[in-house]
A and B are shown apart, each in its own frame.
Chain A
Amino acid sequence: MRRYSAFAVAREATRYHQGWERAWASPEPKRSYDAIIVGAGGHGLATAFYLGKNFGITNVAVIEKGWLGGGNTGRNTTIIRSNYLQDPSAALYEKSRSLFETMSQDLNYNVMFSPRGVIMLAQTEHEVRGYKRTAQANALQGVTTEFISPARVKEIVPIINIDGPRYPVLGGLWQARGGTARHDAVAWGYARACSDMGMDIIQQCAVTGVTREDGAVTGVETTRGHIATKKLGIVVAGHSGVLAEMAGFRLPIESVALQALVSEPIKPCMDCVVMANTVHGYMSQSDKGEMVIGGGADGYNNYTQRGSFHHIEETVRALVETFPMISRLKQLRQWGGIVDMTGDRSPILSKTPVEGIFINCGWGTGGFKATPGSGWAFAELMAKGHSPLTDAFGLERFREGRFIDESVAAGVAH
């Protein structure tokens, strides 16, 4: 693999940029692999990357039904934070956030990580108490956050209206090292690094069945033939239930649509991420100048990647009160993604009833921020059979009642 650098740009500039090689190969699938990952989104590719980097397992295929990074990896609002309340969540998301810090260097791919800071607004007395508690919990967990006053919120976000009649700002939970990253670049960077390690990324190849023998996995049936493996990682977000059914077990997951929208681009006006959980809205400004707004999730099962209009209306109505200057912005586009919700709103990283099959799903409305940490921990689980980061996230927790209850997980209606 030719490394990307300023010298490479200069070299190519002298020859009409004819020398750039393809970032990843598109090989034909082999007959068998040491490990197969289903789903070439951020989490799947990160898992493959860390299987190779941390455990030396490089005879790996990543199988994708569509194109890589074409699901929720390309549909989120790119927010990165780790200010969770429960210890297992904070450990996993903080690992992830810390991996984002050096991701561009690790992958030799600019993922445009921007630790611009994340504020979660407290707009009710209940939220004030909740976030103060979270700030204390974060201090114990080694996650740097602080509870800040309304005046400090106004200082960080000058465009905010802190005395709104319905949603006054009473304070905020501030994580200065949270931020955003370029979501597609995360998937592309991992894909390039995986391909460089000799892994096969097989796009346009749908899994149609899972073959088993004596309760252990033997491979997958795909639209491009049978591929054998002893280790199968299922990382397919909203369609996890479909894959689990092929493999013969059930999941505590329901799929719903979550929406986001962006405005027309405007000049820089807000240099951090603001989440307003009471009104189910969050907003940041992209490098292109668009205001990126995340909304609420529908309350009913849905696979249409569309979502209900009235959720957008509610989100925007409330955000306009908090940010009066956005009232005349035009909406550029809107989209929906299918998120896989678990009963406790925490993810599942687990072994399954079928030996050799591992599942990584249930990230619900907050998966992007976890991409590298999820890959790191899931690779360890697949390689060694257990990982300190995933132990609490097993499937059996639903039967045993050991929930990791994160009702604040993404600040949206779930």
Chain B
Amino acid sequence: MLILECPCCGVMADETELAPGGEAHLRRHGPGSSDEDFEGYLFLRPNARGVHFERWRHAHGCGKWFLAARDTATMEVFATYSAQTAEPPQHVIDAIRAKRPDWSLVP
């Protein structure tokens, strides 16, 4: 079972306590944007087989949103961190690099 540490309340929460919220760090495109950008924002996802940044909500706990870096091929969790970030913070990138030296953050 997938277990994530909620960075908001510090609880080690298993996935029955959590609600998945899809990919993290999406750049929002709203009214006035091009069709391509809007389609990309709504539908197109890297769908990585490997390192994946995603949103979670501690639904049956503190109720707050947070983000996680996880490997979709091995289910390994690298780090969980605050949702108030526009991109993965350095300590998360370092935690991933420690285990996946070849990995790089593709913009």
Contacts and interface: CB of A to CB of B under 8 A. Distances in A.
B46 A302 contact: no
Contacts of B74: 304
Contacts of B16: 310
B43 A301 contact: no
B44 A308 contact: no
Contacts of A255: 47, 49, 72
B44 A250 contact: yes
A187 to B, nearest CB: 24
Nearest to A241: B47
Q: Which of A298, A309, A398 has most chain B Cβ within 10 Å?
A: A398
A398 B43 contact: yes
A399 interface: yes
Contacts of B75: 302, 304, 306
A308 B45 contact: no
A14 B101 CA distance: 63
B54 A252 contact: no
Contact of A310 (B1, B22, B48): B1
Interface stretch (B5-13, B34-42, B88-96): B34-42
B1 A399 contact: no
A241 B46 contact: yes
A369 to B, nearest CB: 24
B20 interface: yes
B68 to A, nearest CB: 9
Contacts of A306: 75
Contacts of B35: 399
Contact of B47 (A298, A301, A399): A301
A241 B52 CA distance: 14
Main secondary structure of the interface of A (DSSP, over half): mixed
B1 A300 contact: no
B19 A398 contact: no
Given A304-B74, A310-B1, A252 B45 contact: yes
B52 to A, nearest CB: 6
Chain B contact residues (Cβ within 8 angstroms of A): what range? 20 to 34
B51 to A, nearest CB: 11
* Interface size of A as a range: 20 to 34
B2 interface: yes
B2 A299 contact: no
B38 to A, nearest CB: 8
A66 to B, nearest CB: 15
A303 B42 contact: no
**Residue of A239, A254, A309, A343 with highest tally of chain B CB at under 10 A:** A254
Contact of B45 (A253, A298, A309): A253
Contacts of B44: 250-252, 398
A242 interface: yes
B73 interface: yes
Given A303-B72, A304-B73, A254 B47 contact: yes
B47 A310 contact: no
A251 B45 CA distance: 7
B78 to A, nearest CB: 15
A250 B47 CA distance: 10
Given A241-B46, A308-B1, A308-B2, A301 B39 contact: no
Nearest to B45: A254
Contacts of A301: 23, 47-48, 52, 54, 72
16 contacts: A241-B45, A250-B45, A253-B47, A298-B20, A299-B19, A300-B2, A300-B20, A300-B54, A301-B47, A302-B72, A303-B73, A306-B75, A308-B15, A342-B43, A343-B43, A398-B42
Interface of A: 239, 241-242, 250-255, 298-304, 306, 308-310, 342-343, 398-399
Interface of B: 1-2, 15-16, 19-20, 22-23, 35-36, 38-40, 42-49, 52, 54, 72-75
Given A251-B44, A253-B47, A309-B1, 18 more contacts: A250-B40, A252-B44, A252-B45, A253-B45, A254-B47, A255-B72, A299-B20, A300-B20, A300-B54, A304-B72, A304-B73, A304-B74, A304-B75, A310-B15, A343-B42, A343-B43, A399-B35, A399-B39
